[in-house]
Amino acid sequence: MEVILKQDVDNLGYANDVVKVRDGYARNFLIPRGLATVATDSARKQLNETLKQRAHKEAQIRSAAEKIAEGLANKTLKVAAKVGEKGKIFGSVNTIMLADAIKALGFEVDRKNIKIKGDAIKTIGTYEAEVSFHRDVVRSIPFEVVGE
């Protein structure tokens, strides 16, 4: 039986995929839990139209994400932190501080989309973070930690 997945299912496929599964698995597990629907002709037509519209919106979102990434590529991020003797920071630099520094430059990035490379940052210096603007647009951005 062929079904259209409504959500991502581990070891089976992603949302909006048409997959072939056994009849019992579809009738007893996927369909009752709302994870899939039967792939009839009308359901396939509806899926194709939905994917067509979503592709157009996705292209706009991706181009906006690429513009933000290009805008940040030429900027230097500076994160200010309270520093004690010998250049050690009180606490550590985290993604919230990086998101605030990016926001100060005029760009909006969610802190959940920022990953600091390496261990916790506890000293002054230059580091890199990986920022995901879109699932296809991921950039490595250098930033500098300076003392207040």
Residue 122: both structure tokens together: 């506890």
123-141 pLDDT per residue, tens: 888 999 999 888 788 888 8
For residue 88, what pLDDT band results from cuts at 50, 70 and 90?
confident
Comparing CA positions, the residue from 89, 99, 73, 146 lying closest to residue 122 is: 89
What's the rounded Cα separation, in Å, for the pair 44 and 57?
Answer: 20
19-67 pLDDT per residue, tens: 999 999 999 999 999 999 999 999 999 999 999 998 889 899 899 889 8
What percent of the chain has pLDDT above 70? 100
What's the mean pLDDT in 77-98? 87
**pLDDT computed for residue 122 by the predictor:** 87
For residue 81, what pLDDT band results from cuts at 50, 70 and 90?
confident
For residue 20, the number of C-alpha atoms closer than 13 Å in the C-beta half-sphere is 0
Tell me which amino acid residue 22 is: R
Q: What is the pTM of this model?
A: 0.63
What's the rounded Cα separation, in Å, for the pair 112 and 110?
Answer: 5
**pLDDT computed for residue 19 by the predictor:** 95
The 3-state secondary structure of 42-64 reads HHHHHHHHHHHHHHHHHHHHHHH
What's the rounded Cα separation, in Å, for the pair 126 and 51?
Answer: 43
